[in-house]
Amino acid sequence: MEIRVLRYFLAIAREESITGAAARLHITQPTLSRQIKDLEDQLGQKLFLREKHRMTLTAEGMLLRKRAEEILDLVDKTEAEFSAMEESVSGSIYIGSGETDAMRLIADVIRGLQETFPSIHFHLYSGNAEDVTEKLDKGLLDFGILIEPADLSKYSFIRLPVSDTWGVVMRKDSPLAQKEQIRKEDLLSLPLICSRQVITKDLSDNPFAQWFGEDFGKLNITATYNLFYNAAVMTRAGAGYAVTLDKLADTSESSELCFRPLYPRLEAGLNIVWKKYQVFSSAAQLFLERLQDRFGEAL
């Protein structure tokens, strides 16, 4: 399976047309059609449903699209790393993170590094812990920021000197906003918007479930979210109360929303992690050294 043909395949998947993809790739339609037919023969699977004016992916084609995007991301990252070796210190660094205010600490390190080495570029990926660790394990990310609890057995890591606070984001005009802290009995009758991980994680590894205790199953969780932006939109619209970490939503004086911490207080530590025995590019190695200078040696 050739990298070039995977790029052809993705072009057709995006354009949904041989004609459009051929124009974009600057090759002839017959050549492109033959390449895709050869790819289907090689894999023994039909990748496209061919309609009169449109080509759509089969189930097998959708699987290949996901794999092809991962493969090409890794190829592009590798090529960039080797190209960067021709210069003193340059290249790209890939960092994945869940939503956390601790990113400001990493941003300070990035800013300092860019002032000295302007040819280093940073690429940030936002996702939950499962998304970030999957990309770390596949080599698509150099570093990840994981919110505790997290399985760190496969990674080297540095503990960040901050923690996030769990609480509830709500409209300022809601009755619950009159409270300074939120107790578990306050939540039992409310429509809650929770992180998808709160629902899918093993309860033994779920800090919010452990905080709530044996009545966790009685909660009225009406919606879940992956990243918090859309959850904040729903909360602002009055569709529920969002259980989340602090500082992910605008709760300033001019905002319609406010944040109230849980009581007893529930906090989450943070770690920046990378694969054990990782061989870094010169840029990523320099970034790691700056992290260690700022936050301490790796564990």
pLDDT number for residue 240: 95
Helix (H, G, I), strand (E, B) or coil at 165: strand
Q: Which CA distances in Å does 91 have to 43, 87, 140, 228?
A: 35, 9, 14, 31
Residues 145 and 129: their CA atoms lie apart, in Å, by: 8
With b for 16 or more beta-carbon neighbours within 10 A and e for fewer, the 131-170 pattern comes to: bbbebbeeebbbbbbbbeebebeebbbbbbeebbbbbbbb
Residues 131 and 221: their CA atoms lie apart, in Å, by: 23
Nearest to 194 by CA among 167, 163, 162, 175: 167
Share of residues in the chain with pLDDT > 70 (%): 96
pLDDT number for residue 88: 60
Cβ-in-10-Å burial (0-12, 13-18, 19+) of 73 comes to: middle
* 112 in Cβ contact with 290 (< 8 Å): yes
Judge if pTM exceeds 0.75: no
Model confidence pLDDT, tens digit, residues 224-237: 998 899 999 999 99
Model confidence pLDDT, tens digit, residues 46-96: 999 988 788 999 999 899 999 998 898 888 888 777 766 555 678 899 999
Model confidence pLDDT, tens digit, residues 106-159: 999 999 999 888 889 999 998 888 889 999 999 999 999 998 888 899 999 999
Nearest to 146 by CA among 135, 137, 157, 154: 157
- Selected residue with higher pLDDT from 141 and 204: 141
